Amino acid sequence: MPLVPTSSIVDSAREARVGAAAFNVIHLETAEALVTAAERTDTPLILQISENCIRYHGSLLPLTRATLALAEGSTAPIAVHLDHITDADLVHQGVAAGVGSVMVDASALPYEENVATTAELTSWCHDRGAYVEAELGEVGGKDGVHAPGARTDPDEALAFVRATGVDALAVAVGSSHAMHERTAVLDKDLIAALHSTLPVPLVLHGSSGVPDDELRRAIAAGMTKINISTHLVSVFTRSIRHTLDADPALVDSRKYLKPAREAVAEEAARLLAVLGAPATVPGQYAAQAPARG
């Protein structure tokens, strides 16, 4: 199946009131595992490559090209997205390489600078057919610090979306990056307010720390794109530890990477089923029709 646009996955999920899964690639093994999960469940999936991941590998092209090749060869609908990109050069390189979307992350800048930077890169991306996500303010725990008090103001968010022209917005509603326990409780009333105010899909970062039922409630309240990284990284690492503990003399990396890859594929498939099922929640959390224009 050809690579699909990120917009087709996000827009279809929004219309169906289900989650658009966006799982992070760390290396080739995780990319293979995630594509396997999408194929086993016949579910659309957004593969994300973060700026931190690019820095780890030393450059953008090798892993990005490999991920694009896996997506293009998959039987499932797969999009490839760059996540939390602060360097404009990486935006340019990624779009030139063929990624369908980018998260432009200027959230650490003062508001006016965030608007100007995001608007400029959004215009550049749109001219080349790429979809743009952005972030207003900083979602809690960007540097691993649990900060569940961060919240996005709906009126400020609307002004930001109108000023920048972005296609999707990451919002702070109680999740936190890099959580190792799935204990976060989200502000569903705020999610519903943001959904009814904004004309673009909402993105939940830090979803690794959110339990299944809470993810379902967030989607029903109006969240669309659900980003998960740390949880799946933990599954991969736990599998490797288990394999090496069982056989300390093992030296062939394929013999511990293969079961780890399978463990991620199984958990990713389970999460795709969680996110792809229509949710029912109490009436006060039901999303209203989104604003337009």
Residues identified as active-site:
83
Q: Which of 178, 169, 234, 238 is nearest to 210 (CA)?
A: 178
Buried b (16+ CB within 10 A) or exposed e, 13-51: bbeeebbbbbbbbbeebbbbbbbbbbbebebbbbbbbbb
User: CB of 209 within 8 A of CB of 165?
Assistant: no
CA 155 to chain centre: 24
